[in-house]
Amino acid sequence: MGPRSEPDLRQLHDVGRVREGLPGGRHRVRRTDRRRRHRAVPRGARALPHAPGGGDVVTGLFVTIDGPGGVGKSTVTTAVAAELRSAGVAVCQTREPSDTPLGRLARQGTETYRGMAMACLIAADRYVHLDEVIRPALAQGTTVVCDRYIASSLVLQVLDGVDRDVVWELNRHADMPDLAVIVNARTEVIEKRLTSRGAHSRYEREPGNAARECTAYRETARFLMAAGVRVLQLDASAASPDEIARAVAVAIQELWTRGSA
C-alpha cells in the first residue's frame, strides 16, 4: 500500500497504552476466506504482501474491543469508528451479541440462559455474525470495529462455569481479530461508571463482579497473545474515550504500515 492510500493518523498521540502483545505463534485468521480482488487499495484496507498474482488482494482490518462490563467499550467503539471515518476510512461498526435475530435472542437471553447453553448461543451468534456481517465487510476492504468478541466469551462464559478449553473449542472456527483491544480500568472506576450508568446484565449486578472481570480480562489477554493474537491492553481509568480511541487508531496505523512494508 502506498503512503497516499493510508489514512493520515500519524499525528495521533500514543495515550493510555499499557502493553501491546506481539504474537509469537501463528495467527489463526483464515485470510483465504476474506480475499477479494480490487483495482486499487481502498483507504483503510490492507494489501496482503504475499498475495498470489501481485499483491492487489486486499482486506479490511478486523478490530475487536473487549473489557469488563461498564468500563467503556461501547463508548470507545463509537469513538474509534468516528476517528477512523474522519480519516476517510470505510468502517463497519458492529457488536456482539449481533444485531441479527439470533443475536437479539442471545442479548435478551443473557438474563435467562447460563453456562453451556449461553456459551453455545453466543458462539452460534458469532458464526452468523461472521458470515453475514464481518467477513463480507472485510472482503470489501472495510475495517470492522466490533464491540465485544471472543475475549468476552473467554471471560464471561468461564465466570459462568464453562471450562475455558470448551469455550475456546466452541470458537475454533471463528476468525481471530487482527487487533484485539482489551480496555481495562481500576475496579473502583468501573464500579463508579456502572453505578452512574446502571447495570446492563446479570453479570454486572453480581457483587464483586468488576474485580473478577478485571483480573479475568488480564489473564485472557495473556491467553490470546499465547495463541498468536495481537493484543493491545489499554487502561481507561483516567483516559477519556477520545484518548483511548486515538491509541487504538495509532495501533491500527502501525498495522497498515507493517502491512504495506
Ligand X SMILES: Nc1ncnc2c1ncn2[C@@H]1O[C@H](COP(=O)(O)OP(=O)(O)OP(=O)(O)O)[C@@H](O)[C@H]1O
Q: Rule CB under 6 A: is residue 16 a binding residue for ligand X? A: no
Rank residues 59 and 157 by Cβ distance to ligand X and give the closer one: 157
Q: Among residue numbers 239 through 258, which ones bind ligand X (CB under 6 A)?
A: 239-241
Q: In angstroms, what is the C-alpha Rg of the chain?
A: 18
Q: Rule CB under 6 A: is residue 220 a binding residue for ligand LXEULUCI? A: no
Q: Among residue numbers 63 through 122, which ones bind ligand X (CB under 6 A)?
A: 67, 69-75
Distance of CA 192 to the CA centre of its chain: 24
Q: What is the residue-wise DSSP string for 214-253?
A: HHHHHHHHHHHHHTT--EEEEE-SS--HHHHHHHHHHHHH
Q: Among residue numbers 119 through 178, which ones bind ligand X (CB under 6 A)?
A: none
Query: How many Cβ atoms sit within 10 Å of the Cβ of residue 239?
Result: 20
C-alpha cell at 67: 473489557
Q: Which does 241 bind (CB under 5 to 8 A by kind): ligand X, ligand LXEULUCI, none?
A: ligand X
Rank residues 138 and 156 by Cβ distance to ligand LXEULUCI and give the closer one: 156
Rank residues 57 and 65 by Cβ distance to ligand X and give the closer one: 65
C-alpha cell at 94: 458492529
Q: Which does 75 bind (CB under 5 to 8 A by kind): ligand X, ligand LXEULUCI, none?
A: ligand X
Q: Rule CB under 6 A: is residue 98 a binding residue for ligand LXEULUCI? A: no
Is 70 within 8 Å of 194 (Cβ atoms)?
Answer: yes
Distance of CA 6 to the CA centre of its chain: 21
Q: How far apart are CA 73 and CA 57, in angstroms?
A: 31
Q: Among residue numbers 55 through 94, which ones bind ligand LXEULUCI (CB under 6 A)?
A: 69
Sign of CA dihedral 173, 31, 3, 133: negative
Give the binding site for ligand LXEULUCI (CB under 6 A).
69, 96-97, 107, 110, 122, 148, 152-153, 156-157, 200-201, 203
Give the binding site for ligand X (CB under 6 A).
67, 69-75, 193, 196-197, 200, 204, 236, 239-241
